[in-house]
Each structure stands twice: as structure tokens, then as C-alpha cells.
Structure 1
Amino acid sequence: MRAEWQAHIDELLQTYQEKRRQIQEMQSKLETIEAEAEAADGMVRVTVDRQGRLTSLELDPRVQRRLGSAELAEAIMEASKEAQSQVADQMRAAMQDLVPEGAAKENFDIAKLLPERPDNIDAVRERLGILPP
């Protein structure tokens, strides 16, 4: 195998490994995303995780005197939707540099961008006669 081919293959593998590292870092950041939002003049506060699941609900004691049950439910839903929207914006912003052009960014599965590892790269190198020294 020619030395320039070996160098090119090594460069491609190094690029792959760098992209894989960037994706792993981004996934770690995505796992910590959460958002908080308020409604009813701050008397209702919610926190949602990266998947939009409600993780915290805080009600000001005054809310029981000021809002009926339907209004309270509406305020909780309003705050939840706002927090979910913030999470979606954060996710899009975190992924925008790694999502390929033309991909549906809102539904893109970043885990599919690169496989866990290239298919048995040593077998490929052996078949091509370019095993590393």
C-alpha cells in the first residue's frame, strides 16, 4: 500500500475520531439542558428537563386566593409550554454546528451522525495491506 494512501486513511480516521469526540461532548451538554418558566405574575414556576418533562412545580401560596382551579391549570400549562419551547431552542442551538445541511434539525438524532466506531478498521487495513506499524 502506498504511503500517501496510508497517510490519507490515517487522516480520515483522525478526523472521524475528532468528530466523535465533539459529538460526545455535545451529548454531555444536551443531557444537562433544562429550562424554567413562570406564569400568573410569577405565582406559578415550572422547570422541565431536556425532554420537556416537568421536573419541578412551585406555587406561590397566594395563587390559591387569586386563581380558580381552571385558571391555575391554565397557568401551569402556559409555563410548561414556555419552558418546553426554551428547551427546544437550547437543543437546536447546541446541535446546529453538527447537523448536516438539509437535515430536519428539530427531529435529528445526533447519535446516528456517526456510529459507535468504524466497522472493524483493523480488518479493513489488513485487507488493504496497511496495518499500522
Structure 2
Amino acid sequence: MRAEWQAHIDDLLQTYQEKRRQIQDMQSKLESIEAEAEAADGMVKVKVDQQGRLTELELDPRVQRRLGSAELSEAIMEASKDAQRQVTEQLQSAMQGLTPEGTEGGVPDLTKFLPERPGDFDALRERLGILPQ
């Protein structure tokens, strides 16, 4: 095989590996997204993870004197929904231009867009008579 073909294949493999690293880095960043929100004049505070799951709930001691159980429940839900909305906005912003149309909400596993290794390049090179650099 010609040297320029080998160089082209090597360039493509290097580009592929760099893009895979970039996607893995982006996946790590997406997994660290979280949001906080408050309700009931700051007496209810929540934190959610990148999937909108509640990870922290903080209630001011005054909340028991000021809110009944129904109002407290509503405040917790309000803060949770606000934090979930923030996470969704952060994910959409971070993913803008990176995922196919229709991929919304949650954290898609970007590493699935590219396989771990696109076939056995060593066997392909050997079969084509291309020696590794």
C-alpha cells in the first residue's frame, strides 16, 4: 500500500481517537451537572443531580411554624421543579450542537456514539501490508 494511504489512515485514526477523548471529557462534565433552588422565602432548599434526582433537602427550622404540611409539600415540589428545570437548561446548553435532533433531557451516553475501537486496525494494516509507525 502506498505511503500516502498509510499516512491518511493514520491521520483518520488519530482524529478518531482525539474525538473519542473529547466525547469522554464532555460525558464527565455532563455527569457533574447539578442545580440548587429555593422556595418559601428560602426556608426550603433543594439540590438535584444531572438527572433531576433530589440529592439534598434542607428545611429551615422556622418552616414548621410558618407552613402547614400541604404548603411545605408544595414548596418542596416547587423548588425541586425549579432545580430540575435548571439542570435541563444546563444540559441543553452543554449539548447544543453535539447530539442528534430529538435527544432531549437526561444525560445521553456520548461514548455510545463511537465504539471503543472501530474494528481491529492492526489486523487491517497487516492484511493491507501497512506497517505501524
Q: TM-score, normalised by structure 1?
A: 0.89
Distance of 1:118 and 1:81 partners within structure 2: 41
- Which residue number corresponds to residue 4 of structure 2? 4
| More off after superposition, 80-89 vs 123-132 | 123-132
| SS at 1:41 equivalent | coil
- Which residue number corresponds to residue 105 of structure 1? 103
RMSD: 1.5
**1:109 Cα deviation after fit:** 3.7
Instruction: Report matched runs for 1:1-133 at 5 Å.
Output: 1-100=1-100, 103-106=101-104, 108-133=108-133
Distance of 2:128 and 2:96 partners within structure 1: 36
Whichever residue aligns with residue 7 of structure 1, its letter is: A
Is contact 2:33-2:49 (8 Å) kept? yes
* Unmatched tracts of structure 1, length 5 or more: none
| SS at 2:116 equivalent | coil
Whichever residue aligns with residue 96 of structure 2, its letter is: Q
Length, aligned pairs only: 131
Runs of 4+ in 1 over 4 A off after TM superposition: none
* Unmatched tracts of structure 2, length 5 or more: none
| More off after superposition, 11-20 vs 84-93 | 84-93
Is contact 2:24-2:110 (8 Å) kept? no
Q: Which has the higher contact order (CA 8 A, sep 6+)?
A: 2
Q: TM-score, normalised by structure 2?
A: 0.89
